[in-house]
Structure 1
Amino acid sequence: MNEQTDAIDADRVLKQKHRAMWAQGDYPALAGELIPDLGAILVEACGVKSRQRVLDVAAGAGNAAIPAAMMGAEVVASDLTPELFDAGRRQAADRGAELEWMEADAESLPFPDDEFDVVLSCLGVMFAPHHQAAADELVRVCKPGGTIGLLSWTPDGFIGRMFAAMKPFAPPPPPGAQPPPLWGSEVHVRELLGDRITDVQARTQTVSITSFHRPDDFLHYFKSHYGPTISVYKFLAGDEEKITALDKALTELADTFSDAHGDAPSQMDWEYLLLTARKQQRETRHS
């Protein structure tokens, strides 16, 4: 009993840290300024239709949930970090979209089995630390024959490489946690979902970023806006040598991915995996 209690307490602490990580900075602004179209791309790939029940897991400020609601679907936007919802509600109001916002852990969703026609996540569920637990929940709450749709940064794309560059400077991950960009590997996602899905459609695509003139601009923006980056720098607080080394690693990475021409903003192509599948009509339990 003590071991079970300890595990529950450890998970609660871990989730509190994740919530705090995404509450800092300004992820809604980042998503709106840099990648505003990715949610709609996922919604289109999932074929969301009017009157469908749709769940956006780890929805943030609703980058996918709002476009789904604008299709006439009945949408629930769930996230571990409800601090992001205020920005989402404002965006939804501005666009005339109506949807429900609900605090929820992607690894333990507060919904019945077989509840939603479409279960999707745009750059969200990939950050749940325990991948199999999160994948199991995606499948559980999806109706048999329903659609599961995921858009995730790839390991070899820019954001995946950014996490790899930050890893030596970050605190060690908790036991059982896996790197977020693994969700950008089709093989990994197929292993997580197993034989509970069919009709898998997967392709890698890129989004072009033209918001930064120089690698330094990217560095300063992510140090002020992006929760995971902010958290690593907070962990290094006071260690100027490591801070300088991380600055160098991230600016060099940005420079590698940049295509600059004179005074024009550089273009960076960030790769992601877009994957959709259908839940088997009769679910085969994952072993």
Structure 2
Amino acid sequence: MNTQTIAPAPTTAEADRTLKAKHRAMWALGDYHRVAAELVGDLGAVLVDACAVRPGDRVLDVAAGSGSAAIRAALAGGRVIASDLTPELFEPGQAWAAQHGAELTWAQADAENLPYPDGDFDTVLSCLGVMFAPHHRSAADELARVCRPGGTVGVLNWTPEGFIGQMFATMKPYAPPPPPGAQPPPLWGSEEHVRGLLGDHLDGLTARRGSLRVDRFAEPAAFVEYFKANYGPTIAVYRSIAGEPESVAALDRALTELAYRFLRDGVMEWEYLLVTGRRR
């Protein structure tokens, strides 16, 4: 009689570790710091200014990347920890901070399980970072948990309707299916969704849309090649279809068409949602 050994299903903890390892590896692809420094870095200043960081404030930047918001908060006088799941981003961030004369601490941490006590920070913020944590409720609860009562929580994320949100929608049919329970990052750019996540934690929650002016790409193809070379999520999707030339060509066309719709006289506007509130 033949017998078959069936491997046990992974536990929830094992599955989460595997998922987080994939996320860390994805953001280590390419050169995200280049994207931050050349394209989106100014948004860190927008968020820090909205949170009104003051000298002496204890600040946590969650999913900080190479520190566009953390560095601005340090320059405003904050005592800052820049935390991220992907420590490979810290070395360019440290060099960036040194160029600006900013002093801060760098720490590896999972946005869904922050290693800090309740109420440990005056300001907790995330700029284009926490949106990529797969379980939105867990991440939102952690943002609020580590902020002191009366302290500020602030997040800035791409909207679903804006250019980057539409880029993720364009890539989705070519990407591997997300694991059960994982939520799309651009939902963090929906005011209704963010109010549902943070509304019970924050008083005076305000949300406003803005746009980042991007004038780096003279033509749509230049955008596609830049993101294929530097942006981890885009690189990961292309790697997943590397053995399918027709799919690669189709995604090239789809992203080029998307960029064409948003590009006007060499300028693109990338919409974001900025949300702030006081910890209840």
Task: Report the TM-score range of the alignment, normalised by the length of the smaller protein.
Answer: over 0.9
Output the CA distance in 2 between the equivalents of 1:273 and 1:193.
Answer: 14
Output the CA distance in 2 between the equivalents of 1:4 and 1:111.
Answer: 31
Give the drift of 1:194: 3.0
Identity of aligned residues (%): 62
Amino acid at match of 1:16: A
Output the CA distance in 1 between the equivalents of 2:43 and 2:9.
Answer: 39
Are 1:273 and 2:273 matched, yes or no? yes
Output the CA distance in 1 between the equivalents of 2:8 and 2:209.
Answer: 42
TM, length-normalised to structure 1: 0.94
Aligned to 1:161: 166
Aligned positions, number: 274
When the two chains are superposed, the root-mean-square deviation of aligned CA atoms in Å is 1.2
Give the drift of 1:195: 1.7
Secondary structure, aligned partner of 2:223: helix
Aligned to 1:283: none
Aligned to 2:40: 35
Aligned to 1:236: 241
Output the CA distance in 1 between the equivalents of 2:10 and 2:152.
Answer: 35
Aligned to 1:200: 205
TM, length-normalised to structure 2: 0.96
Encode CA deviations 1:257-280: one digit per residue, 9 max, x unaligned.
0002xxxxx100000001101110
Output the CA distance in 2 between the equivalents of 1:131 and 1:175.
Answer: 13
Are 1:173 and 2:173 matched, yes or no? no
1:257 maps to which of 236, 244, 262: 262
Aligned to 1:213: 218
Output the CA distance in 1 between the equivalents of 2:229 and 2:70.
Answer: 25
Give the drift of 1:213: 0.8
Secondary structure, aligned partner of 1:273: strand
1:19 maps to which of 20, 24, 34: 24
Secondary structure, aligned partner of 1:195: coil
Give the drift of 1:36: 2.1
Give the drift of 1:193: 1.4
Output the CA distance in 2 between the equivalents of 1:38 and 1:74.
Answer: 20
Are 1:132 and 2:154 matched, yes or no? no
Give the drift of 1:3: 9.0
Output the CA distance in 1 between the equivalents of 2:206 and 2:29.
Answer: 35
Are 1:76 and 2:81 matched, yes or no? yes
Amino acid at match of 2:220: P
Amino acid at match of 2:50: A
Amino acid at match of 1:137: E
Matches within 5 A, 1:44-59: 44-59=49-64
Amino acid at match of 1:129: P
Aligned to 1:222: 227
In structure 1, list runs of 5 or more residues that go unmatched: 261-265, 281-287
Distance change in 2, residues 1:41/1:3 (3 Å): farther
Task: State the 4+ residue runs in structure 1 displaced beyond 3 angstroms.
Answer: 2-5
Output the CA distance in 1 between the equivalents of 2:97 and 2:217.
Answer: 27
Encode CA deviations 1:82-141: one digit per residue, 9 max, x unaligned.
000000100111111100000000000000001000000000000000000000100100
Output the CA distance in 2 between the equivalents of 1:3 and 1:186.
Answer: 41
